[in-house]
Chain A
Amino acid sequence: MKARTAPLATALLLLASLAGVRLAMRADAGHVWLLGRLFGSACAFREHFGVPCPNCGMSRSIVLTMHGNMVEAMSLNPAGPLLVLGVLAAALLLGIAAIRSRDFAARRWVMRSALAYSGVYVAVLIGHWIAVIG
């Protein structure tokens, strides 16, 4: 039972988090609002060193992606849309894992995909950061 309910619950949680972002948050190029109130604080890395950290712009980028503003989201931090895509892919994968056989989660391509995605994500995050501070 747990082999089916755990991936299904995780998939639903991931989708619910995206839906929550879509419904409760708004953003523009410089701000994020949660339920109409300004959300977030200044980046400690930026405050201390004077340059943005690799994750700067992620909140705005994710919220803008969820509102369909892909161009602005990509310009703020391209890892944002990639993260949303990863959440959707993970939810789909876990949904399939819940429906299909137990050994679906042990498939080699699942592990390789997760590893490849992580590599691309980190490369995009660091690549964008170098471009910004360079």
Chain B
Amino acid sequence: MFCTRCGATIADTSVFCPSCGSGVQRPAGAPPAAFPPAPTPVPPPLFAPVAPAAPVAYASPGTVGPSVPLDCASWGSRVLAYIIDNLIVLVLVIPLALLAGALGVGASALSSVSNAGGNVMASSCCCVLALFPVLQIGFGIYNRVFLIARRGYSIGMGVAKIKVVDPWGNLLPQSTCWLRLLVQVLLGMVPVVGILDLLWPLWDQWKQTLHDKVVNSYVINFPQAVAMP
């Protein structure tokens, strides 16, 4: 069989591609590969597989679970990444907030001298304020969709040394990243469910959030991650 990522020829029993290190994707219903195969010395895989002593590697019937053993990231690492990603947005928003404040003060000062000048300043202030959500959405899409689809981790995830993969250890396609973000936003709109989504890895077997479960993605430890975009 061939690697779906790099096209290299690989053994039928392989779990990882010896050429690019990505997990081997198998069609639904195919028997699971023997693990660990490790046929020949190969380049280091993109993620670290769990030690052979791991108690449960595959999903039991009726549950969502990985198709290959994955070294799932801890809740603390995920929260760290989440906080960093949100702090970055805050850092981007602060200059805009200062600009909006300055324009607002200018508008009130100018309105006492000239109505037209005050109106221009007030309109500029509103435009800057309208940029907040645009900036948040734009950066969120770049960080949580584009970067994760391209390399597997957002900036915050890079700092926390974790990445997002599918059940076979491959990177998620961009469409799945979009769906993952949309589900997270939807769940975040519901007060209780939003909190549960954040806390779910604490008691989940594969340390998944609810939005991970919807798209069947997993967050794993990835020591090779580099924080910068």
Contacts and interface: CB of A to CB of B under 8 A. Distances in A.
A5 B63 CA distance: 21
Judged by DSSP, the binding face of A is helix
B113 interface: no
B189 A107 contact: no
Given A2-B202, A7-B203, A97-B203, A111 B192 contact: no
A111 B208 CA distance: 11
Contact of B192 (A3, A7, A83, A125): A83
A114 B59 contact: no
A106 B192 contact: no
A46 B208 CA distance: 38
Contacts of A108: 62-64, 213
Interface residues on chain A, size class: 20 to 34
Contacts of B59: 106
Contacts of B63: 103, 106-108
A10 B198 CA distance: 12
A106 B65 contact: yes
A109 B192 CA distance: 18
Interface in A77-117: 83, 86-87, 90, 94, 97-98, 102-103, 105-109, 111, 114-115, 117
Contacts of B56: 103
A83 B210 CA distance: 18
Interface in A1-39: 2-4, 6-7, 10, 14
B40 interface: no
Contacts of B189: 118, 121-122, 125
Interface of B: 56, 59-60, 62-65, 183, 186-187, 189-193, 196-197, 199-200, 202-206, 208, 210, 213-214
Interface of A: 2-4, 6-7, 10, 14, 83, 86-87, 90, 94, 97-98, 102-103, 105-109, 111, 114-115, 117-119, 121-122, 125
24 contacts: A2-B202, A3-B202, A6-B203, A7-B203, A10-B199, A86-B192, A86-B193, A87-B192, A90-B196, A97-B203, A103-B63, A105-B205, A106-B64, A106-B208, A106-B213, A107-B62, A108-B63, A111-B64, A114-B187, A114-B193, A115-B210, A117-B190, A118-B187, A118-B193
